[in-house]
Structure 1
Amino acid sequence: MSAPESAPPTPAVRPAHYSPRLYNADLAPRGSSAPWRTWDLFCWWMSAWHSLGSYTFAIGLLVLGLTGWQVVAAVFGGLLVLLVGCNLMGVAGQRAGVPFPVFARLSFGVHGANVPALLRAVVAVAWYGIQTYLASLAVVTLALKLFPGAAGLAEAQFLGMSGLGWICFGVLWVVQLAVLNRGMEAVRKLSDVAGPVLWIAIAALALWVLGRAGWSIDWNYRQGPALDGPHTVGAIVSGAFLTVAFLSGPMLNFADFSRNSPDARSIRRGNSLGLLVNGTAFALVSVVIALASAKLHGVAVTDPVELVKDIDSVTLLLVATVAIAGSAVGINIILNFVSPAYDFANTAPSRISFRTGGTITAVVSLLVMPWKLYSSPVAVNYFIGGVGALIGPLFGIMVVDYYLVRRGHVDVDALYSADPAGRYHYRRGVNPNAVGALVAAGALTLLVAFWPALSGLAAYSWLVGCIAGGALYLLIEKVHPQNREETP
């Protein structure tokens, strides 16, 4: 079987000094091909940001007591922080030319890298299933509109989901797996098309809702009591760091995509246009839709599917449903499918390819029954949220290690070496400094995120984790250095 398109043009035979326990064609260093240029990353961010989840998240900031324009300001502030973080991680990944789990070997060791990789995979797999389920609800709405006779299928229940729900979920599940099985080049082409098309769809939805609202909205609408000056500033800053936490996962594994870019300039430009400019514009359009829906229904509608149900035209309903389902598929593949596919491949490269890792992701996402997971706020908050809270420490450790400890120097060949004397073997393949910093900073972050006495700091859990993880790692490295890197 030929290698998937995600594999760079590397020799058919594994280099002799690369361990089969650490190498396969999908995890190989980037070859001469680097197709992910500014336009591709711009479209990637459009596909990543345009979703039901992003809309719901942005509108959810209204509960902090913010007005519409203050929500946009909060999102913009968060996107500025994300821009810096994605540039740092993206440029590092591009220079090394390796995917995230291989890049993590730099900090955590050739075997210890499975810790950050699997933590990221757990969050991605859970959200992959949830996003697929949410998209299937939109398809169910369309199916009932087109085929009223299918109402019986919508009533029969099996394992917590209707027969019609299973059919719609299954179709989306298969479509996404088919795209990923065609490799990273298929993912790039999908985002190049999906991003711009979904922008048109969300703009059309905004115009439709605005028209129904008489082309006027109240920018001072808020859900909650008015805040004074200091509390307003605090709420905006909280909203900004909640935005960072919302996209902290893809920021962590951004090397999976940026490694395929030709240079750092393409990454910075793609991030500026796609993340900052496009992300702010999408937040603005989302707020417009929410404020228009508030005028129509008395309260801002947080679920676009509920708005779509009001569409009388079957043609418009079809377009809206395809856009909503398409956005979920796009964001799922980009944010929640590619990462665990690489992460699972990293655990046993000789047996698990990128394609096999994608299949594992799809199967596990089905086994966790995401419709039940999503219906339980406790499960989402404590399981997914708890693991997700560790993303901040991971990011801090890896960025500090690359930029401050190693000064940007990477021995790529050593990332694939199982030699005990190798630079990234540390102690039995694990860097105790990175693991120790992760455990300590992770415990602190979990306390901030979940301990009621610190609830006022919960919105800053990513920031606390990032600073604590990076600072602890740097301190431990100064006291008990494990770094064997020769700085240039």
Structure 2
Amino acid sequence: MPAAAASANPRDRHHYAAELAPDSRLYNKDLAPTQPAQRTWSTYNYIALWFSMSMEVTTYMLASSLIAGGMNWKQAIFTILLGNLIVLIPMLLNAHAGAKYGIPFPVFVRASFGPAGANIPAILRAIVACGWFGIQSWLGGQAIAAMVGVLLPQTMHMPWVLWACFLGFWLLNMAIVWRGVESIRFLQSFSAPFMLLMSLILLFWMLHKAGGFGPMLAAPSRFTSTSSFLHFFIPSLTAMVGYWATLSLNIPDFTRYAKNQDAQIIGQAFGLPVAMTLYSFIGIAVTSASEVVFGQPIWSPITLLGRFHQPFVAFLGLIALLVATLNVNIAANVVSPSNDFSNLAPRLISFRTGGMITGLLGLAMMPWKLMETFGSYIFGWLVGYSGLLGPVAGIMVADYFMVRGTKLDCYSLYRRGGIYEYRRGLNPAALIALVIGVVAALVGRFIPAVAFLYDYAWFIGFLLSGTLYYLMMLAKPSIVIEENEATQ
């Protein structure tokens, strides 16, 4: 702005400021880029984030279900480690924009889908997170009910106790959401070391009961051929990737608070694979030990702890499960969908209001049905929604790195009519690529002849949508030229 313009009369300055102001339909304080004073998350905070989110009941069940499906402990650990190393790639790629520009996922995705089109992937991701919120709330309620049962055995067969505990845990989650994102950082920093300690105590307790690691890990693989193993391994690997498919999209919601890129890169590159592999091994070992101790593999840690005859041990273990469930529910399943719902109508929906919407939808999705069996959990829920989110991840990565070379005009992300407007706020290339990728990923669920596509749902969607999007955007070089001029 020239000096002459700066010294113009107040009415002219007001008009100039109004032109620069963000569009209120696309902006509120929760969606605004983070300021330097807000960027306080260190490497330790990101390590703690992943340890706290990994060390919870659904991770345990994820690992134990592989044992129940026929794998031995080495095959299960390999599947989990490989899946998490794969999902770490889009995780770090999408995290870059959050740390560089301080923007959350629903704002970041405007660059590829347009300001109106961004609502589509944001709501897809938010609905999945609502399902996870419901699942975690249900498991947390079960843990509380089990603790009540340890103290008051007569309540163990009273269904209303479980439902009361479920709703009470739901209210606890909502109270933490009301306090804001900094309460999450404090909770994770405190609970991550505690959860590791409690998990190790459970492991060594079961080790003692089973008579050592030998009996615990002696179960052989039940697969008699390579083809039978691959038939189970491939969709299981997809499920491992799908487990963190939501976070691979909305990780900017957390990296926007990073002190620098190194803090989030190192913290995530160490925290995600190490935490998941460590806690998965605990789940696999304890589940194997339960077969030795109780005569059958018990894949739910809540059920397992309920079988203990020592009330103090059971009570302490259930408290650990409760803390872990609370951690992951807030960090992974409330923060990001709250931002997504806020993005629909920033003037009307704040972060807190978005959190309330998330909680209500989580109840409506009947989580007790989603976790009915380990088969529906792995091959229905995890693989199924990975086919919805893989295409979004592919488009985001292709747009940010291949089309734009990590250059964004942050100012235009909060305005209509700018370089991200496309056609009335929608990018046809992104929408076409998304639809084709989702159809290709999920068609195998309904047509047996191409069932193999569903087994690779996340991979098919990610690669196909990303490639199609890049090819279609190559035909629009003017968009990139315009953006490069705006960011200079």
Question: TM-score under structure 2 normalisation?
Answer: 0.89
Separation in 1, partners of 2:372, 2:213: 35
Q: Which residue number in structure 2 is paired with residue 5 of structure 1?
A: none
| Correspondence for 2:471 among 445, 452, 475 | 475
State the AA in 1 paired with 2:269.
Answer: S
Q: Which residue number in structure 2 is paired with residue 399 of structure 1?
A: 397
Q: Which structure 2 residues correspond to residues 90-169 of structure 1 after superposition, within 5 A?
A: 90-150=95-155, 154-155=157-158, 162-169=159-166
Deviations 1:456-475 (A, max 9, x none): 44332101110001001011
Contact residue 96 and residue 259 of structure 1 kept, 8 A: yes
State the AA in 2 paired with 1:471.
Answer: T
Deviations 1:127-163 (A, max 9, x none): 2112111221121121122123545xx53xxxxxx32
Contact residue 116 and residue 394 of structure 1 kept, 8 A: yes
The RMSD of aligned alpha carbons is: 2.4
Q: Which residue number in structure 2 is paired with residue 19 of structure 1?
A: 23
| Correspondence for 1:466 among 442, 462, 472 | 462
Matched, 1:287 2:284: yes
**Secondary structure class of the residue paired with 2:290:** helix
**Secondary structure class of the residue paired with 2:115:** coil
Q: Which residue number in structure 2 is paired with residue 181 of structure 1?
A: 178
Separation in 2, partners of 1:41, 1:443: 35
Q: Which residue number in structure 2 is paired with residue 53 of structure 1?
A: 58
Report the Cα offset of residue 480 of structure 1: 4.8
Q: Which residue number in structure 2 is paired with residue 244 of structure 1?
A: 241
Q: Which residue number in structure 1 is paired with residue 351 of structure 2?
A: 354
Deviations 1:379-423 (A, max 9, x none): 9976886444210000000000000000000000101002x2x01
Q: More displaced, 42-51 or 281-290?
A: 281-290
Separation in 1, partners of 2:474, 2:101: 24
Separation in 2, partners of 1:252, 1:342: 13
Separation in 2, partners of 1:449, 1:115: 22
Q: Which residue number in structure 2 is paired with residue 6 of structure 1?
A: none
State the AA in 2 paired with 1:21.
Answer: R
Report the Cα offset of residue 308 of structure 1: 0.0
Report the Cα offset of residue 63 of structure 1: 4.8
| Correspondence for 1:274 among 256, 261, 271 | 271
User: What are the ranges of 5 or more consecutive residues in structure 2 without an aligned counterpart?
Assistant: 1-16
Q: Structure 1 pair 394/140, CA: closer, same or farther in 2 (3 Å)?
A: same
Q: Which residue number in structure 1 is paired with residue 447 of structure 2?
A: 451
Q: Which residue number in structure 1 is paired with residue 34 of structure 2?
A: 30
Contact residue 217 and residue 288 of structure 1 kept, 8 A: no
Deviations 1:114-134 (A, max 9, x none): 001000011111121121112
State the AA in 2 paired with 1:88.
Answer: L
| Correspondence for 2:429 among 422, 430, 433 | 433
Separation in 1, partners of 2:461, 2:152: 50
Q: Which residue number in structure 2 is paired with residue 193 of structure 1?
A: 190
Separation in 2, partners of 1:385, 1:240: 9
Separation in 2, partners of 1:369, 1:360: 15
Q: Structure 1 pair 399/428, CA: closer, same or farther in 2 (3 Å)?
A: same
Q: Which residue number in structure 1 is paired with residue 339 of structure 2?
A: 342
Contact residue 342 and residue 357 of structure 1 kept, 8 A: yes
Separation in 2, partners of 1:148, 1:121: 39
Report the Cα offset of residue 354 of structure 1: 0.4
Separation in 1, partners of 2:54, 2:381: 23
Contact residue 65 and residue 226 of structure 1 kept, 8 A: no
| Correspondence for 1:79 among 84, 94, 110 | 84
Q: Which structure 2 residues correspond to residues 34-45 of structure 1 after superposition, within 5 A?
A: 34-45=39-50
Contact residue 236 and residue 379 of structure 2 kept, 8 A: no
Contact residue 234 and residue 456 of structure 2 kept, 8 A: no
Contact residue 217 and residue 292 of structure 1 kept, 8 A: no
Q: Which residue number in structure 1 is paired with residue 309 of structure 2?
A: 312
Separation in 1, partners of 2:54, 2:242: 14
Separation in 1, partners of 2:296, 2:449: 31
Q: Which residue number in structure 2 is paired with residue 8 of structure 1?
A: none
Q: Which residue number in structure 1 is paired with residue 414 of structure 2?
A: 416
Sequence identity, in percent?
Answer: 33
Separation in 1, partners of 2:409, 2:25: 18
Separation in 1, partners of 2:67, 2:111: 41
Separation in 1, partners of 2:39, 2:19: 21
Separation in 2, partners of 1:333, 1:388: 21
Separation in 2, partners of 1:369, 1:76: 30
Separation in 2, partners of 1:320, 1:286: 13
State the AA in 2 paired with 1:464.
Answer: I
Q: Structure 1 pair 121/292, CA: closer, same or farther in 2 (3 Å)?
A: same
Contact residue 374 and residue 380 of structure 1 kept, 8 A: no
State the AA in 1 paired with 2:56.
Answer: S
Q: Which residue number in structure 1 is paired with residue 207 of structure 2?
A: 210
Contact residue 123 and residue 388 of structure 1 kept, 8 A: no
Report the Cα offset of residue 232 of structure 1: 4.9
Separation in 2, partners of 1:380, 1:21: 39
Separation in 1, partners of 2:430, 2:218: 47
Contact residue 101 and residue 342 of structure 1 kept, 8 A: yes
| Correspondence for 1:69 among 59, 71, 74 | 74
Q: Structure 1 pair 183/121, CA: closer, same or farther in 2 (3 Å)?
A: same
Q: Which residue number in structure 1 is paired with residue 8 of structure 2?
A: none
Report the Cα offset of residue 51 of structure 1: 1.3
State the AA in 2 paired with 1:75.
Answer: I
Separation in 2, partners of 1:224, 1:454: 26
Contact residue 107 and residue 431 of structure 1 kept, 8 A: yes
**Secondary structure class of the residue paired with 2:21:** coil
Separation in 1, partners of 2:377, 2:155: 32
Q: Structure 1 pair 58/382, CA: closer, same or farther in 2 (3 Å)?
A: closer
* Structure richer in helix, relative to its length: 2
